Amino acid sequence: MTSGQRRFTRQRLVNGVQTALIMGGLALTLSLPGYLLAGLGGVLIGLSAVTVATLATSRVPARLILTQAGAGRLAPSQAPEIHALLARLYARAGLRSPPQLYYAATPELNAFAVGGPRDGGIAITEGLLRSLTLRELAGVLAHEVSHLRHGDTRVMSIAATMTRLTLWLTSAIQLAILFSLPLMLAGDVTMPWLTLLVVAFAPTLSTLLSLALSRQREYTADLEAAALTGDPKGLMSALMVLERQHGRWLSSLFGRQRPAALEWLRTHPDTRERIRRLAELDDDRHGPPLTTTPTRAAIPRRPPPLRSGDWRRRS
């Protein structure tokens, strides 16, 4: 095993441990207000609600979400180069379902994955197609394929459900304290200082943990994308393009120096840190590069957005 492969394995292990710790922190943050409300039964009810919500959202077809986002299905005949890339990425990732590619007519530079390994889809925007070469686009697609492969959409859905339930439970505690104020003023009930601390900090902590989880899954997807393409430089170049575009917007708001607290509130990690981590992998390839084509993908005809009933059809 080469030094690059050892770094890759070590970083993958670190990412997995960090994800497990963050999910454990979210579960603990949810359990505290549940326990304060109804003891052990409150904890079980809260965790059961998360399980039910996760099962319910997992049955929502990815195509329905993409329809609501105004995306249209990009057929293989409309984008043969991109579909060929995506099919090879699916094969390398071990995904057996046929690739589902969608197009959104927006100037924003964005790509996103919806669903899981069996019924997922990837959407790319007009701005992305106009800005990235085929080599750079391969890195971005590999990043999204990694999200599908590991069910990151479902993982983040679980985290979001935990955060919402934490907020609802702490709101219920606030109401209970409010109704108990007359008894507290009369001296019959003492002020629940520990409960007040939980109410004050649990929702914020849960939100910060969810954002940290999102950033961690992005790091993992970058790592997996480099392995899938065998070309970390392709994704690094794409990230540089995205940073230039998004950096202009942030600079217009905050000037050259961005607030340090902003990093805690981001769903994606700092691009410079992502590029640094990818650069550490660049001295060792994980397989033959998927593509080194420096030109942009040709799409002669853009698809219209899906209609309201199209989500029911697979093809």
The residues that are catalytic are: 144
- Residue 277 confidence (pLDDT): 87
Q: Say which residues have a Cβ less than 8 Å from residue 241's Cβ, sequence separation at least 6.
A: 109, 131, 132, 136
Q: Say which residues have a Cβ less than 8 Å from residue 60's Cβ, sequence separation at least 6.
A: none
- Residue 253 confidence (pLDDT): 46
Alpha-carbon torsion 47, 53, 56, 61, what sign?
negative
The list of the chain residues with pLDDT below 70 reads: 1-5, 57-64, 67-70, 184, 187-189, 191, 246-264, 282-288, 298, 300-301, 303-315
- Residue 312 confidence (pLDDT): 47
Structural domain boundaries in the chain: 3-306
- Residue 87 confidence (pLDDT): 93
What does pTM read for this prediction?
0.83
- Residue 163 confidence (pLDDT): 92
- Residue 254 confidence (pLDDT): 45
DSSP string, 242-287: HHHHHHHHHHHHH-SS--GGGGGG-SS--HHHHHHHHHHHTTS-SS
Cα 217 to chain centroid, rounded:
6
- Residue 88 confidence (pLDDT): 92
